[in-house]
Amino acid sequence: MAGMSRVDTSYLARWWRNVDRVTLCCVGVLIGFGYVLMLAASPAVATRIGASRDMFILKQVVFLTLAGLIVTGTSLLSPRGVRRLAAVGFVLAVAATALTLVHGVEIKGARRWIALPMMSVQPSEFLKPCFAVVTAWLLTERRTRRLFPGMPIALGLFAAILLLLKSQPDIGMLSVITTVFLAQLFIDGLNLFFVGAGVGCMIAAFLGAYMVFPHVRSRVERFLHPNVGDHYQIDTALRAFGNGGLMGRGPGEGRVKDLLPDAHADFVFAVAGEEFGMLICLFIIGVFCLIVVRTLLKLLREDDPFVVVASTGLITGFGLQAFVNMGSTLHLIPTKGMTLPFISYGGSSAMSVALTIGMVLALTRHRVGESRIPRGRVAPIPAPGLRRATA
């Protein structure tokens, strides 16, 4: 790649010159940490459940390799290609998520997975990136077709997702998708009153979930009242950070992986803290922040409404997922079983996050002399929170 000259006009050469190579490099760094931490955390977990010590490692090698290919392949697409991929993916993800309610595998009282040979798939993971792009298209299409009912359709799709995820139930995933949707509405120029009303509805929904779902109530009460309930996982994770200190105990020297059932997945950040120390944890946080902030700064110079709204939703979901995982591990928020992008074990998560970043790279790729939107001229997005005259 480095040897591609400016006179090389092949599609791959133009992609390499125009893609955000800093973000691409950051993704490679996260995938590298994913490999290293899986080598550190997964053998003890596999041994504890009576499986081969290498089972999780070999699977994650495949998952992360596929994730790298998905990031690269998706970033080659045009905005129209991203939109088409998201539309097809959204239909398939909704259908598969509905299927989990009938033929899904029940784990800890929730039906979120479909069993396949060698692995289980969580279809709702793919709803996040696909819904963000489809919503962006619906919201911005109104600018080229005045009578196009983009907002009602987007609200209808969101309502369908709400019902599906509530039925599983998966309140954490629903919270992320809701936040993404509200962020996109805000960036699209929805009046602040309605954005505030949406936030109010979200708070009311959280209160309802607290009252209706026992596992939600249990997690919130354990977070608010340290002396109530079982705090074994959080206490062990926090002790791991204390044991690691500034520089860590060294690769393979950690003990949290021998004690936590999800040390390779939800609590992999604690393994990083114990074995590699606070400096490496801060570096990982910095890599996530760099990806998010760099994408948002690129969008400040973007004049295509579809790219702005879609990329905002995609990067919001990515950053929020990372924050929820690390915040849960550090006991900054109630515990939630959500993976750390590219680092935690999980095929559905790795490929979903790869699809997210691949779409972001495709949409923000610099295109000289290319039209971002295939047809029509589009008015620029008004300042966030201001009502459009055509609303």
pTM: 0.86
Residue from 61, 159, 170, 70 nearest 113 by CA: 170
Q: Which residues contact 338 (CB under 8 A, 6 or more apart)?
A: 172, 176, 266, 321, 324, 325, 328
- Domain membership of residue 3 (yes or no) is no
DSSP per-residue codes, 31-62: HHHHHHHHHHHHHHHHHHTTS-TTHHHHHHHH
Given a contact cutoff of 8 angstroms between Cβ atoms, the answer to whether 115 and 100 are in contact is no
Domain count, the chain: 1
- Domain membership of residue 372 (yes or no) is no
Query: 31 phi and psi, to 5 degrees?
Result: -65, -40
Both structure tokens of 171: 């309140």
- Domain membership of residue 375 (yes or no) is no
Place of tokens 């995938």: 31
- Domain membership of residue 5 (yes or no) is no
- Domain membership of residue 389 (yes or no) is no
Neighbour tally for 282: CB within 10 Å = 10
Per-residue pLDDT, 387: 41
Given a contact cutoff of 8 angstroms between Cβ atoms, the answer to whether 316 and 183 are in contact is yes
Per-residue pLDDT, 228: 62
Given a contact cutoff of 8 angstroms between Cβ atoms, the answer to whether 107 and 113 are in contact is yes
Which parts of the chain have pLDDT scores under 70?
Answer: 1-9, 108-109, 195, 209-210, 213-216, 218-219, 221-230, 367-391
Range of the domain at 345: 18-364
- Domain membership of residue 391 (yes or no) is no
